[in-house]
Structure 1
Amino acid sequence: MTALDYPGDLLGFGDDLTGPERAKLAVLRAYLEEHVRPVLPERWEAGENLADFRAPLAALHLLDDPALFATDGEPRPLYRGFVTLELCRLDLGLSITYGGQVNMFRTLVHAGGSPEQIAAWDAGILDFSFTGCFALTEPDHGSDVAGGLATRARRTADGWMLDGAKRWIGNATISDNIVVIAREDGGERVLAFVVPSDAPGVQRSVIVHKGATRLVHNADITLDGVVVREGRRLPRIVSFADINRAFRRLRATIVWSSAGMQLGAYRAALDHAQRREQFGRPIAGFQLIQDKLVQITANIAQTLALAVRTTTHPIEDDVSPSLLKRIAADRLRESVALAREVMGGDGLLLDHDAIRFFSDSEAVYTFEGTREMNTLIVGRALTGHSAFPR
């Protein structure tokens, strides 16, 4: 079985994993190394998604193995964080393909759905027979979507009619359902609908020519007179505050993702430094190379500490996540750049992994609020003055 190692885990957070948790993570890593890693360069270059790995990952029972359950009948948040870390250690796109379903989609259903909806859909979410994605951002509204949400939901005799457009929606073309966020026509409520992706009036198209997260098919979605029955509305989401509430348990995910990607980049850089010889000896013995490797490890330590703390002590405010996102994205961006530098020209080749992490870090740096937007959120909280355009 593949041994688990976490360079940068200076405080021994991995030691807090239980025996069954470590065993499951080792099974996951072994599967990823044997089956997924060998195909990544060709799949990434071709821009092919990883939908075919969803069923095998579901079969590992990463989240529904009773041996992993805590007293609440769910795996511990710390373990769930390490699952994200293991997936991102290999590739961010794989983590989004899996986590967008069992984390984001499932969280929305649990936080916003009725007991009947949860009972009907949850098993299918975990085994990927009932797949879904989250559609919030729009062509003209990304970070400002809360104030500019243009998709509308109009009440009809039998349910609702949706009109609008969504953009950058991950997993949209491989999901059976789309959680569409829309503003109630003529009202102030912000509603969530679980829309069948093959419903009349729904059109999805893959966004092409991407330079990051190429293993995820982000999509443009148009909704033209899409009819949705009331039973497909998540009744406990009626505002952006409810959406924020739904995602509070996922706020540490971006930090775990950053830590995992840095681990993957570090592994690639270290392996290369041990093999590559210049001036008659491995470059791992040069001071300049060691300085870069040590800095990456220091960044991992900082990021992992933040990830664990926010997992074991969940954040309840809406400002701290912006600071966490900024820190995690900054550390990630520096680490993957250093890893690429260690490899010189070889670092530009997909065969050596670093360039995937380098490119995908730009997606992390941008989504869930750009660095600038998160800076303004934290700045407003610190000073009491808003620097947003008015």
Structure 2
Amino acid sequence: MFKGFDFSKLKAISQHIDLKEVFSSLSKMNKTQLYELSKALKAGNYNYKKPEINGDFYDLSDLLTPEEREVQLKVRKFMNDEVKPIANEFWNKGEFPMHLIPKMAELNICGVPLAGHGCPNHSYVLEGIIAMEMARVDTSISTFFGVQSGLAMGSIYHCGSEEQQAKWLPRMQKMEILGAFGLTEPLVGSAVAGGLTTKARREGETWILNGEKKWIGNATFADFTIIWAQDEEDDQIKGFIVEKNNPGFHAEKMKNKMSLRTVQNALITLNNCEVSEENRLQRADSFKDTSRVLRATRAGVAWQAVGCARGAYENALAYTMERKQFGKPIASFQLIQDQLVQMLNALTSMQTLVMRLSQLQDAGKMTDAQASLAKVSCTTHTREIVDIARGIMGGNGILLEYNVARFVADAEALYSYEGTKEINSLIVGREITGISAFV
């Protein structure tokens, strides 16, 4: 009965309590009462070895090559060492940590899946992993990087001439030049197929652009912005490399955002903005060309949603192991464990979905509908996960210092940009029914 008990401790204990009275009370208890007392005493002793907090429950990182795994861990270290300590501060101020850009450039990860021009030429899987690792710490930083490496570089890579690619891509890959992507407009959103209100008119070797763009990430400090406009002559969508010092180009910072506050979004005004024919994307002649760029980056947004959800889950899990209620960690309660598993279930489903999506993309088989389904599924699940994470943390869940409030707010932007849930659902619906329900 007393096997393993150190009786030498009884003398020290007797200085604080009446042992004779304690043993007398114990002798009067029945088996049920003794069992309940034993449980209560054990509840106060939770010096157990805590398991590693790891949101990759199915070990999907094992599918990476050793080189890709090395890049993943390099990005993770950068995010943990350089970004995590300042993420809440810059998000709260609504400012971008410009000093991080040279350090990010040293990672040599810009244009990961692109070939040539100094780009690493890795896989779309690795590009997704990078987006996830960044968003896992700060979704704003992953958005900045996605605009630079995906939308801006992707526009020139997919739609630019060889001369334009040679001029811009090597310096963009080194992050010596920063780009932005101007598609969305105040009145029509990203309704490229239905006609943009931004118009382009050719006069000799010069194009005159007039209109407005809204929500354009990085545009307040980017060296150039890819502007998509409708040609007045043939009504087709064309792309232009508009440099920040172009006459008639003005980018004004958008304020009072509740989401992705570190990202510097701009309202762009184009007032008789002159762009040379040399800076027109030579292989962008219709909406289909714009769509090629968006298709390539929509998978990246799904990966961002995975990162945002994973960050919320891992922070909430760590919190439950430290936060005590009724004398023991809240992680020991059944309701909390059920909520943790709900989050992990959704997160793991998201991870396996985007991994397969990027594998299809690497094989050249990914369709618009497949990318759209991932975007719908992942951003919807992310909202669910961040909501549970915030609830688990109670009032602390709305404080920045606990690192979940940011994910809750940022999930709302992911849910909307690169096509809303409704638009992406209609893309999938068209694919599976053969009927377009857009109009």
TM category (shorter chain) comes to over 0.9
The counterpart of 1:323, out of the listed 373, 378, 385, is: 373
Pick closer, same or farther for the CA change 1:6–1:82 going to 2, 3 Å.
farther
SS where residue 271 of structure 2 aligns? strand
Aligned length: 381
Tell me how far apart the structure 2 counterparts of residues 163 and 147 of structure 1 sit (CA, whole Å).
18
| Cα deviation digits, residues 104-159 of structure 1 (max 9, x gap) | 21111110111111111111101111211110011101143420301111111232
- Equivalent position SS for 1:142: coil
Residue 372 of structure 1 deviates from its aligned partner by 2.1
Letter in 1 for 2:230: R
For the pair 1:354 / 2:400, whether they are aligned, the reply is no
Q: In 2, distance between residues paired with 1:374 and 1:157?
A: 39
Contact 2:183 2:190 in 1 (8 A): no
Over residues 219-264 of structure 1, what are the superposed CA-to-partner deviations in whole Å (9 max), with x where a residue is unaligned?
A: 1000001111111011111111111123333232122111111111
Deviations 1:191-218 (A, max 9, x none): 1000001211111111111000101011
Q: Could you tell me which residue of structure 1 aligns to residue 387 of structure 2?
A: 337
**Closer/same/farther in 2, CA of residues 19 and 384 from structure 1, 3 Å limit:** closer
SS class of match (2:245): coil
Alpha-carbon separation, structure 1, partners of 2:53 and 2:178: 32
Q: Name which of 329, 332, 338 aligns with 1:291.
A: 338
Matches within 5 A, 1:196-235: 196-235=243-282
Q: Give distance in 2, aligned partners of 1:274 and 1:287.
A: 13
Fraction of identical pairs, as percent:
37
Q: Which residue of 2 aligns with 1:242?
A: 289
SS at match of 2:228: strand
Query: C-alpha separation between the residues in 1 aligned to 2:335 and 2:230?
Result: 54
The answer to whether the Cα contact below 8 Å between 1:54 and 1:97 also exists between their aligned partners in 2 is: no
Map 1:2-41 onto structure 2 (within 5 A): 6-10=54-58, 12-41=59-88
CA distance in 1, matches of 2:260, 2:214: 15
**Structure 1 stretches of 5 or more lacking a match?**
none
What are the superposed Cα offsets for residues 328-356 of structure 1, whole Å, 9 maximum, x if unpaired?
11110101111111100000100011110
- Change in 2 beyond 3 A, CA 1:232/1:353: same
- Counterpart position of 1:122: 169
Residue 9 of structure 2 aligns with which residue? none
- CA shift at 1:87, angstroms? 0.3
Q: Is the CA contact 1:143–1:370 (under 8 Å) kept in the aligned structure 2?
A: no
Provide closer, same or farther for how the CA distance between residues 76 and 382 of structure 1 changes in structure 2, counting only shifts above 3 A. Answer: closer
Letter in 1 for 2:385: S
The residue correspondences of 1:135-154 to structure 2 (distance < 5 A) are 135-154=182-201
CA distance in 2, matches of 1:144, 1:233: 21
Q: How far is the alpha carbon of 1:361 from its aligned partner?
A: 0.5
Which residue of structure 1 aligns with residue 350 of structure 2?
A: 303
1:376 corresponding residue in structure 2: 426
Contact 2:192 2:237 in 1 (8 A): no
Gaps of 5+ in 2: 1-51
| Local SS of the residue matching 1:262 | helix
Rounded to whole Å, the distance in 1 between the matches of 2:56 and 2:77 is: 21
Label 1:59 to 1:53 Cα distance change in 2 as closer, same or farther (>3 A).
same
* CA-based RMSD: 2.1
| Bigger Rg, which one | 2
Matched residue of 2:84: which SS? Answer: helix
Shift of 1:23: 2.2
* Stretch deviating more after TM superposition (201-210 or 138-147): 138-147
Q: Distance in 2 between matches of 1:317 and 1:22?
A: 27
Is the contact made by 1:204 and 1:222 (CA closer than 8 Å) also made in structure 2?
Answer: yes
Q: What secondary structure sits across from 1:252 in the alignment?
A: helix
Letter in 1 for 2:399: L
CA drift of 1:385 comes to: 4.4
The code of the aligned residue for 2:255 comes to V
Q: 1:210 to 1:300 in 2, by over 3 A?
A: same
Letter aligned with residue 219 of structure 1: A
Partner SS for 2:194: helix
Q: Name which of 75, 89, 92 aligns with 2:139.
A: 92
Describe the shift of the 1:80–1:190 C-alpha distance in structure 2 as closer, same or farther (beyond 3 A): same
The answer on whether the counterparts of 2:111 and 2:153 sit within 8 Å (CA) in structure 1 is no
Match of 2:227 among 150, 172, 180: 180
Distance in 1 (CA, whole Å) between partners of 2:433 and 2:110 is 42
**SS of corresponding position for 2:270:** strand
Whole-angstrom distance in 2 between the partners of 1:165 and 1:63 = 28
